[in-house]
Amino acid sequence: MAASGIRGPKQIWSAFKWSMKGLRAGWQHEASFRLEACLALVLVPLGLWLGNGPLEKIALVLPAVLVLSAELLNSAVEAVVDKVSPEFHELAGRAKDMGSAAVFLLLVMTGLSWVLILAPRWLV
């Protein structure tokens, strides 16, 4: 149950508004998110156009969306760490580095998906 006690369509609408607020905050405060969002604005339509069939389309589009999701989670972790531990602490640094590594791995997966799906067509 939501904190305000609302349920049903009102709860869904509230969750949608909070999600939009989070996307707006990511765009306003995170340069990495803006860069990756611009990349996704190119890759998602391109992936839908270049993919042969639904599975290829998903394999080209999904990684770009996952990068955005991971970037928002990484930014959330960084914000909480900075709030809780403004001075340097090894564990705080490790948490931030691990969040960054998660985004990096998804970026690698994005590139790998595109190469594995599209390169064979271009090499023939």
25 marked as part of a ligand binding site: yes
Sequence-separated (6 or more) residues with CB below 8 Å from residue 115: none
To the query of whether residue 71 is one of the catalytic residues in this protein, the response is yes
26 marked as part of a ligand binding site: yes
CA dist 70 and 87 (Å) reads 25
71 marked as part of a ligand binding site: yes
Check 36, 56, 71, 90 and give the catalytic one: 71
100 marked as part of a ligand binding site: yes
Buried/exposed 1-16: b ≥16 CB within 10 Å, e otherwise: eeeeeeeeeeeeeeee
Q: Which residue numbers belong to the known binding site?
A: 24-27, 30, 71, 78, 87-89, 96-97, 100
Just list the catalytic residues.
71
Write out the binding residues for a divalent metal cation. Answer: 30, 78
Which residues does the annotation place in the binding site for ATP?
Answer: 30, 78, 87-89, 96-97
